[in-house]
């Protein structure tokens, strides 16, 4: 592997990329264990695929915000390093697949030239901060949350407190109470509100904490009905510090924030958050760029008037405009949703779209949506027919952005290690059912169908009105692919939501008939209610869940129960969608949350590395960063000594307490009192200088004690 030099002006970014290159080389030379290297590359957006020898690279795009220049860069990079495909995710990222590990530092360096990063896109970190695609143009929003989400994302990027969490943290912002950002299912969710305080309007957020999907989904809890905007970053930092210290470290299935809150209770959790306040680097973080809705909002430069077009299918255009377009709060401009099938867009189509639309839409702020599509903003009303024609020429003018024709699906066994079954071919089969048999429902809003290739919910099946996740069934000693059917999930508004009920499992090849039964019964229900057609296109309506709750889970169990009969299986039922070989549950090593490293030597190496980071941060005057790096030195070195004596701990909190029990005389005054100084002092120079020096002494002590113990055991 040959070294390369970056051409970046940011020395922090350049150091990051060169460090990744150096670690890849050391891994190839056998100097870094595979488990340790896995955690290192995950935090840098490099994820192992199901296929051996290649990687998935995830690019972190806060809010899914992307300019034409960045899009052009991505199109070039997927041709150079990947497959010519851009994959949009439900977390508003972009993924490139089948990338060589050795090429990832060079790819990262080229991304950074257009201000894109892979840093912390995977692993036990703060993942991409998502937001309603309509933020800034939503007619219902009290103010634009874009600057708040961007500020929070930037604040925690490379922040020492969230580099090696017990599990990932997912954060979302919604533009209004409609909660299109799905805050109810996030670790931290923010819904904007305005309040009158002492005669002045104050921006703030309803704050939701502890939500999540996965195998054990949990709704978020209201932490604050109204938190002033300058407090959201300090509050988030305090939450992350608590999670880092008290969160589960050994059992990844119990390591999310929701499980910590369930374990200790929300009041105890809130007390711990308050105890972190003295140690915060800042107690207030104003968001200066935010604007009130009624104030003048900066508009993009006036675009060109698009050429006049004659639409070949005016009826199709009318339906598309009805379901995929809305009037922005800025007069004269339209927001345009683009359904991107399976979230996959080729580099060739990307370039063609940009070339055709340049000058006619806002090129500086396209958004990737949580439904794996695109959202164009500030489209002049006069340009809409031309924009539609361009999209239609590339097969991207499918109507029904908020309805059953726009199915969300994760990549499944196409690339993912954890997937049980294929999601993509199934999605296409279900979309065909909707298009050919239920065309009137295409325009029906708030009827989402979401599919995941396993129970982990990357396709967000638990937050859909109709959800499916891959599973398996046994019949006659053979295994066949199956789907768990979930119904009734989705947002209720203002941070509240509903998780889909698990109704029953059906063989996977019976999914089209499952959907057929559900939609036919629903269509009959709509006919009975005689709901006016124009009402079914309003984004705030939720007719399907009203129908589901009125009928009850038992009704749907009975409706679908005949499809569970395994005595009528056909040979094709033992084949997964898109496959010719008989189905087998082949699950690889999951990497979506990293792997824990319990090797003593590796932990001591980590302590040395973190001490180096603390020293650099102190020298640069980054006092809060230096203090937290020093805290991490104590934790890594103490864990190494405990493991060397066969004492396993499942949290940092446990390490601190166990160390004093196992080594009561190792630290004068006690290890806990030494380490937890970080909570008793603000990160000012006088404290940090001493704290880093104490961490250095402890880091030197750890290998000495290990050597003494080893000699005594001889």
Q: What is the mean pLDDT of residues 387-399?
A: 96
Q: Estimate to the nearest angstrom the gap between the alpha carbon of 81 and the chain centroid.
A: 24
- Which pLDDT score is estimated for 538? 37
Please give the domain boundaries of the chain with CATH numbers for all domains. Answer: 11-112 (3.90.480.20), 130-279 (3.30.413.10), 314-393 (3.90.480.10), 408-574 (3.30.413.10), 600-713 (1.20.120.330)
Q: Could you tell me the pLDDT band of residue 48, with boundaries at 50, 70 and 90?
A: confident
- Return d(Cα 281, Cα 51) in angstroms, integer: 43
User: Which range has highest mean pLDDT (12-16, 221-225, 245-249)?
Assistant: 221-225
- Return d(Cα 257, Cα 708) in angstroms, integer: 39
Q: What Å distances lie between residue 425 and 311, 342, 408, CA to CA?
A: 32, 10, 12
- Which pLDDT score is estimated for 230? 96
Whether pLDDT at 115 is above 80: yes
- Return d(Cα 522, Cα 544) in angstroms, integer: 7
Cβ pair 118, 112 in contact under 8 A: no
Q: What is the pLDDT of residues 656-710, one digit of tens each?
A: 999 999 999 889 999 999 999 999 999 999 999 999 999 999 999 877 776 665 5
Q: Could you tell me the pLDDT band of residue 596, with boundaries at 50, 70 and 90?
A: very low
Spatial strand order of the sheet with 171-173 comes to 130-131, 171-173, 188-197, 200-209, 221-228
Q: What is the pLDDT of residues 57-110, one digit of tens each?
A: 999 999 999 999 999 999 999 999 999 999 999 999 999 999 999 999 999 999
CA torsion sign for 155, 161, 163, 166 is negative
Parallel, antiparallel or unpaired: strands 171-173 and 188-197: parallel
Whether pLDDT at 295 is above 80: no
Structure tokens at 518: 């559900």
For the stretch 487-508, what's the b/e string if a residue is b when 16 or more beta carbons lie within 10 angstroms of its beta carbon?
bbbbbebbbbbbbbbebbbbbb
Q: What is the pLDDT of residues 201-243, one digit of tens each?
A: 999 999 999 999 988 999 999 999 999 999 999 999 999 999 9
What is the DSSP code string of 457-500? -TT-GGGSSEEEEEEEEEETTEEEEEEEEEES-EEEETTEEEPP
Does the pTM of the predicted model rise above 0.95?
no
CB atoms within 10 A of CB 196: 8
Dihedral Cα 536, 540, 544, 548, nearest 10 deg: -150
Q: Estimate to the nearest angstrom the gap between the alpha carbon of 470 and the chain centroid.
A: 20
Q: Could you tell me the pLDDT band of residue 446, with boundaries at 50, 70 and 90?
A: confident
Structure tokens at 536: 């079914």
Cβ pair 131, 189 in contact under 8 A: no
Beta bridge partners of 367: 65, 375
Element of type H or E holding 638: helix 623-644
- Which pLDDT score is estimated for 501? 95
- Which pLDDT score is estimated for 539? 32
What value does the mean pLDDT of the chain take? 89
Q: What is the pLDDT of residues 540-595, one digit of tens each?
A: 356 899 999 999 999 999 999 999 999 999 999 999 888 878 887 665 545 554 43
Q: What is the mean pLDDT of residues 423-452?
A: 90
Parallel, antiparallel or unpaired: strands 55-59 and 94-99: antiparallel
Beta bridge partners of 171: 188
Query: Residue 480, exposed/middle/buried by CB under 10 A (0-12, 13-18, 19+)?
Result: buried
What does R_g of the chain's alpha carbons equal in angstroms?
A: 26
Element of type H or E holding 227: strand 221-228
Q: Could you tell me the pLDDT band of residue 711, with boundaries at 50, 70 and 90?
A: low
Q: Could you tell me the pLDDT band of residue 534, with boundaries at 50, 70 and 90?
A: very low
Helices then strands, each counted (H, E), the chain: 20, 22
CB atoms within 10 A of CB 212: 22
Cβ pair 249, 649 in contact under 8 A: yes
- Which pLDDT score is estimated for 535? 39
Single out the residue of 414, 417, 413, 411 nearest to residue 590, CA to CA: 417
Q: Could you tell me the pLDDT band of residue 1, with boundaries at 50, 70 and 90?
A: very low
- Which pLDDT score is estimated for 6? 54
Single out the residue of 121, 95, 154 nearest to residue 42, CA to CA: 121
Residue ranges of the alpha helices (H) in 442-593? 511-529, 543-551, 553-560
Spatial strand order of the sheet with 333-338 comes to 65-66, 366-368, 374-380, 333-338, 325-327
Q: What is the mean pLDDT of residues 499-507?
A: 95
What residue has token string 């008037």?
Answer: 305
- Which pLDDT score is estimated for 541? 54
Q: What Å distances lie between residue 591 and 40, 236, 456, 483, 587, CA to CA?
A: 12, 25, 12, 23, 12
- Which pLDDT score is estimated for 290? 64
Cβ pair 327, 377 in contact under 8 A: no
Per residue, what are the HEC states of 38-103? HHHHHCCCEEECCCCCCEEEEEECHHHEECHHHHHHHHHHHHHHCCCEEEECCCCCEEEEEECHHH
Of all residues in the chain, the percent with pLDDT exceeding 90 is 69
Q: What is the mean pLDDT of residues 26-40?
A: 81
- Say which range, 200-209, 466-475, 626-635, 699-708, has the weakest mean pLDDT: 699-708
Q: Could you tell me the pLDDT band of residue 4, with boundaries at 50, 70 and 90?
A: low
Residue 126, helix vs strand vs coil: strand
Could you tell me the maximum CA-CA distance found in the chain, to the nearest angstrom? 88
Cβ pair 470, 416 in contact under 8 A: no
Single out the residue of 88, 168, 159 nearest to residue 125, CA to CA: 168
Residue 671, helix vs strand vs coil: helix
CA torsion sign for 231, 234, 235, 236 is positive
Beta bridge partners of 130: 172
Structure tokens at 397: 């003018």
Which phi and psi angles does 212 have, rounded to 5°? 170, 155
Cβ pair 452, 547 in contact under 8 A: no
For the stretch 111-130, what's the b/e string if a residue is b when 16 or more beta carbons lie within 10 angstroms of its beta carbon?
bbeeebbbbbbbbbbbbbbb
* DSSP state at residue 304: P
Query: Residue 444, exposed/middle/buried by CB under 10 A (0-12, 13-18, 19+)?
Result: buried
Cβ pair 76, 377 in contact under 8 A: no
Structure tokens at 164: 């090696």
- Which pLDDT score is estimated for 155? 96
Residue spans of beta strands (DSSP E) within 558-603: none
């Amino acid at each position: 592997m040959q070294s390369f030099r970056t051409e970046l002006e940011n020395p922090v970014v350049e150091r990051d990329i060169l460090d990744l290159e150096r670690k890849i080389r050391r891994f190839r030379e056998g100097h870094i264990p595979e488990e340790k290297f896995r955690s290192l590359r995950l935090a840098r957006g490099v994820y192992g695929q199901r296929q051996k020898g290649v990687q998935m690279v995830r690019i972190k795009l806060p809010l899914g915000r992307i300019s034409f220049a960045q899009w052009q860069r991505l199109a070039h990079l997927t041709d150079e390093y990947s497959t010519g495909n851009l994959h949009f995710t439900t977390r508003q990222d972009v993924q490139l697949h089948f990338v060589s590990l050795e090429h990832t530092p060079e790819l990262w360096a080229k991304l950074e030239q257009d201000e894109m990063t892979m840093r912390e896109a995977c692993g036990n970190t703060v993942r991409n901060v998502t937001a309603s695609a309509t933020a800034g143009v939503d007619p219902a929003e009290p103010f634009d949350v874009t600057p708040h989400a961007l500020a929070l994302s930037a604040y925690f990027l490379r922040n020492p407190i969230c580099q090696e969490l017990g599990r990932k943290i997912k954060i979302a912002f919604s533009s209004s109470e409609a909660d299109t950002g799905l805050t109810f299912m996030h670790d931290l969710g923010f819904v904007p509100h305005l309040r009158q305080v002492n005669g002045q309007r104050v921006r703030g957020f309803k704050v939701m904490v502890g939500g999540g999907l996965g195998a054990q989904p949990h709704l978020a809890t209201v932490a604050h009905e109204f938190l002033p905007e300058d407090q959201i970053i300090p509050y988030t930092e305090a939450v992350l510090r608590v999670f880092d210290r008290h969160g589960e470290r050994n059992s990844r299935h119990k390591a999310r924030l929701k499980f910590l809150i369930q374990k200790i209770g929300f009041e105890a959790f809130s007390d711990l958050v308050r105890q972190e306040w003295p140690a915060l680097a800042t107690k207030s973080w104003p968001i200066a760029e935010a604007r009130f809705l009624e104030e003048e909002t900066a508009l993009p430069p006036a675009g060109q008037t698009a050429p006049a077009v004659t639409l070949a299918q005016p009826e199709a255009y009318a339906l598309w405009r009805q379901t995929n377009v809305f009037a922005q709060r800025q007069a004269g401009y339209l927001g345009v949703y683009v359904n991107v099938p399976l979230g996959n867009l080729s580099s060739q189509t990307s370039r063609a779209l940009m070339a055709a639309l340049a000058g006619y839409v806002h090129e500086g702020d396209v958004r990737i949506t949580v439904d794996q599509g695109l959202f164009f903003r500030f489209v002049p009303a006069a340009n809409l027919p031309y924009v539609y024609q361009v999209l239609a020429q590339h097969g991207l003018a499918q109507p029904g952005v908020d309805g059953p024709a726009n199915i969300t699906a994760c990549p499944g066994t196409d690339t993912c290690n954890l997937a049980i079954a294929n999601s993509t071919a199934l999605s296409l089969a279900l979309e065909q059912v909707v298009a050919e048999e239920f065309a009137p429902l295409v325009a029906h809003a708030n009827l989402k169908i979401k599919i995941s290739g396993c129970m982990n919910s990357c396709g967000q099946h638990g937050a859909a009105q109709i959800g499916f996740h891959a599973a398996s069934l046994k019949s006659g000693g053979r295994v066949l692919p199956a789907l768990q059917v979930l119904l009734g999930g989705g947002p209720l508004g203002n941070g509240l939501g509903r998780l889909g009920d698990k109704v029953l499992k059906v063989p996977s090849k019976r999914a089209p008939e499952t959907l057929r039964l559900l939609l036919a019964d629903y269509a009959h229900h709509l006919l009975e209610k005689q709901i006016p057609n124009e009402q079914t296109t309003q984004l705030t309506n939720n007719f399907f869940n009203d129908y589901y709750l009125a009928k009850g889970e038992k009704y749907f169990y009975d409706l679908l129960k005949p499809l569970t009969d395994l005595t009528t299986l056909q040979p094709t039922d033992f084949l997964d969608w898109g496959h010719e070989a008989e189905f087998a549950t082949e699950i690889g090593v999951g990497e979506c949350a990293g792997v824990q490293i319990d090797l003593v030597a590796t932990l001591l190496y980590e302590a040395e590395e973190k001490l180096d980071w603390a020293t650099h941060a102190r020298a640069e005057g980054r006092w809060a960063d230096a203090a937290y790096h020093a805290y991490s030195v104590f934790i890594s070195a103490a864990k190494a000594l405990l493991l060397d004596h066969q004492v396993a701990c499942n949290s940092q909190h446990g390490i601190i307490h166990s160390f004093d029990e196992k080594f009561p005389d190792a630290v004068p005054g006690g290890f806990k009192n030494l380490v937890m100084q970080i909570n008793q002092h603000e990160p000012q120079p006088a404290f940090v200088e001493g704290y880093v020096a104490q961490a250095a002494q402890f880091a030197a002590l750890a290998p000495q004690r290990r050597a003494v113990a080893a000699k005594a055991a001889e």
